[in-house]
Amino acid sequence: MSDDHDDSPIAARVRELEAALEEKGLLDAQELDRALEAFTNRASPANGYRVVARAWTDEAFKARLLENANEALPELGLSMGGGLQVQRLLVVENTESVHNVIVCTLCSCYPLSLLGPSPTWYKSPAYRSKVVSHPREVLEQFGLTLPAGTEIRVWDANAETRYMVLPRRPEGTEHLSEEELAARVTRNGLIGTAAV
């Protein structure tokens, strides 16, 4: 059984389910731990960086990503699988007039396979509540000041749907390779609390 000591009601239900499945011989705790460890070892923000760099350099991939990210990810050997269910990923694009930011107001739902472990602040009640009501103020606390006319869209993740921001490509990077572009992307850029 997992050593996670999360005290949330959902975590308690998961522990109860794990114990019941183990007791009936339907789940091998060591096998589950190995699967979870393998998944988390592959979970990295570098995956999201690669997705963004490909979208910046390949308009057809970008269109597929924005239309159906779950179908586009396998082109890079990635997926939203790894847990008990596959989550739907929606990629939202920043433009000159729209800036996107993601949050999970209920807990901390997050595209772990593409962004790696979530930052502590993402899970904090302060971020989860304030970014919804005062997104511009929260972004400024992260050092991101947007023009007054920029629309800020806040996307609330949940158990079935995760979000990732496709940041705007930095000016003057047309000569950079996909690998060099990936090195410019940041996890906060993929959450929307930073520009790239």
Residues designated catalytic: 104, 107-109
Which two three-digit tokens encode residue 39? 């998944």
Which two three-digit tokens encode residue 114? 């593409």
Burial of 31 from C-beta contacts in 10 A (0-12 / 13-18 / 19+): exposed
Which residue in the block uniquely carries the two structure tokens 């109860």? 16
Q: What is the rounded (10 degree) CA torsion for 142, 129, 152, 143? A: -10
Q: What are phi and psi of 153, to 5 degrees?
A: -110, 125
Are the C-beta atoms of residues 123 and 161 closer than 8 Å to each other? no
* Dihedral sign computed on CA atoms, order 135, 187, 113, 170: positive
Are the C-beta atoms of residues 149 and 125 closer than 8 Å to each other? no
Segment (H or E) for 30: helix 29-42
